[in-house]
Amino acid sequence: MASDNFVDYVKINCTSGNGGGGSTHYRREKYIPLGGPDGGDGGRGGHIILKGNAQLWTLLHLKFQKHIKAGHGVHGTGQLKTGAEGEDKYIEVPLGTIAKDGETGEVLFEISEDGEERILVPGGRGGKGNSHFKSSTNRAPQFAQPGEPGQEAWMILELKILADVGLVGFPNAGKSTLLSVLSSAKPEIGNYPFTTVRPNLGIVPYRNYQSFVMADIPGIIEGAHEGKGLGLRFLRHIERNSVLLFMVPADSNDIAKEYEVLLNELRLYNPELLHKDRLLAITKSDMLDDELKEAMRAEIPAIPYVFISSVAQQGLLELKDLIWKTLQNDNMA
């Protein structure tokens, strides 16, 4: 996934179509000079509709498309003919896209299935023709309903990436390096904080031609739930991961404390994240001998863990086995 092409937030102006007006018309045929009303209804205005597309992974195609308009409904005509509906405007989005009201921030719905369609902004209803208003006291109504106007609204689309495993750690914990080694993804890697500024996805091959999807989430810092560092923008991506793989480097001053800080940021952002399965990878472990590893075990939090080194290719198969076992247990739960 090319990071420059990853867009997970857009704000767009949506205008649905006006409904067509009802017709004021009277039946006029040979030998029936004073026929009754036969005005048809106006057509509905076009909707703005979101549609899930499993082949998309970014909102890049909407980045420069700020205004989206649907078609207007056609007016009704005589002989009870209803006007054509306005053309609906479809916006294809990746799975995991959340629609919000651009003014209030209220969450409207989420697109989670391929082909799923949800109306973002409804079109105006078509007006009723004069045939609807005939009565015993008014056999020739001279009025019909106008169509309802369409709606204009600013909408926010946010993407929460959908992955099996989300990598959680401070900047420089080795998340991007691990993803680049386990998959064909090529995230930017550097020895400075916040090398990763956009999430990256990679497909990790496993035994017997099986695979799982891993997401490299930009590094968390203490206070991220308040928007510090890269903050809230990327914490939301963790919500869509089945398993959270915490990554703490072997040269950390206190592995347990670093893990607790990371866990606390998730807790403060969304307590439901604590219900997900958690694993721990002690990274950069090629600098440790067996004696040091044994001495460190007493300090490691009580969750499944493994010592790994992405550079030295150590412990990676054991890590994949642990991840796969956890994912399978999730599926059977």
CA distance 39 to 116: 36
Mean pLDDT on 252-268: 88
Alpha helices in 166-301 (DSSP H): 175-182, 232-238, 255-269, 290-296
CA distance 94 to 88: 19
pLDDT of residue 242: 84
Sheet bearing 117-121, strands edge to edge: 89-93, 48-52, 117-121
308, two tokens: 């790994």
- Amino acid, res. 290: D
Above 80 in pLDDT, residue 293?
yes
**Among 78-92, 144-158, 176-190, 276-290, whose mean pLDDT is lowest?**
176-190
Name all domains of the chain by residue range, CATH numbers in brackets: 1-159 (2.70.210.12), 163-332 (3.40.50.300)
Q: How far is CA 182 from the centre of its chain?
A: 25
Above 70 in pLDDT, residue 191?
no
Q: What is the CB-side half-sphere exposure of residue 191 using CA atoms within 13 A?
A: 0
CA distance 214 to 83: 50
Of the pLDDT bands very low, low, confident and very high (cuts 50, 70, 90), residue 104 is: very high
Q: What is the mean pLDDT of the chain?
A: 85
Residue pair 179/214 in contact by the 8 Å Cβ criterion: yes
Residue 289, number of CB atoms within 10 A of its CB: 9
Model confidence, pTM: 0.68
Return the SS3 of 130. Answer: helix
* Cβ within 8 Å of residue 2, ≥6 positions away: none
Q: Is the dihedral of CA 320, 322, 326, 331 positive or negative?
A: positive
CA distance 97 to 74: 32
Phi and psi angles of residue 210, each rounded to the nearest 5 degrees, phi first: -90, 170
**Nearest CA among 267, 263, 301 for reference residue 282:** 301
Of the pLDDT bands very low, low, confident and very high (cuts 50, 70, 90), residue 324 is: very high
pLDDT of residue 233: 56
Which tops the pLDDT comparison, 232 or 138? 138
CA distance 140 to 33: 13
Above 70 in pLDDT, residue 58?
yes
pLDDT > 70 fraction of the chain, expressed in percent and rounded: 86
Mean pLDDT on 205-227: 71
Residue pair 21/130 in contact by the 8 Å Cβ criterion: no
Tens of pLDDT along 145-173? 999 999 999 999 998 777 789 888 887 77
- Amino acid, res. 191: N
